[in-house]
């Protein structure tokens, strides 16, 4: 037993989580980045960001499968390739945004 008051072990400086800034997978209406200050313990906004990142990666994987199928078919019209190229660029942008931070 120690002479410390109950609960003091929870507030010890060495055990406190260091706040971190997490880049969120969405932007403000004027396209500025959004950040969450977190202690790494999770929470509703962090969970939502995790879910959105998983969705974004899933979309990227689906687009990649579609691109590979289109490249194998020489009869695919150019406009479809351009459309897919734009969607792939968006998916890559989402993935790189998360990966860099």
Tell me: the pLDDT tens digits for 54-83? 999 999 999 999 999 998 998 999 999 999
In the chain, which stretches have pLDDT less than 50? 1
Distance (Å, rounded) from C-alpha 35 to C-alpha 97?
12
- The HSE-up count of residue 18 (CA atoms within 13 Å, CB side) is 2
Contact 22, 48 (CB under 8 A): no
Collapsing DSSP states into helix, strand and coil, what is residue 34? strand
Q: What is the pTM of this model?
A: 0.70
Beta bridge partners of 22: 36
- pLDDT at residue 98 in the model: 76
């Amino acid at each position: 037993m120690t002479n410390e008051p109950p609960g003091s072990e929870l507030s010890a400086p060495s055990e406190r989580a260091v706040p971190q800034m997490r880049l969120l997978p969405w932007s403000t209406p004027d396209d500025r980045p959004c950040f969450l200050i977190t202690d790494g313990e999770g929470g509703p906004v962090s969970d939502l960001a995790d879910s959105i990142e998983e969705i974004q990666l899933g979309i990227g994987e689906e687009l990649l499968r579609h691109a590979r199928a289109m490249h194998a078919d020489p009869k695919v019209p150019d406009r479809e390739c351009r459309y897919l190229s734009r969607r792939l660029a968006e998916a890559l942008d989402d993935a790189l945004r998360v990966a860099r931070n």
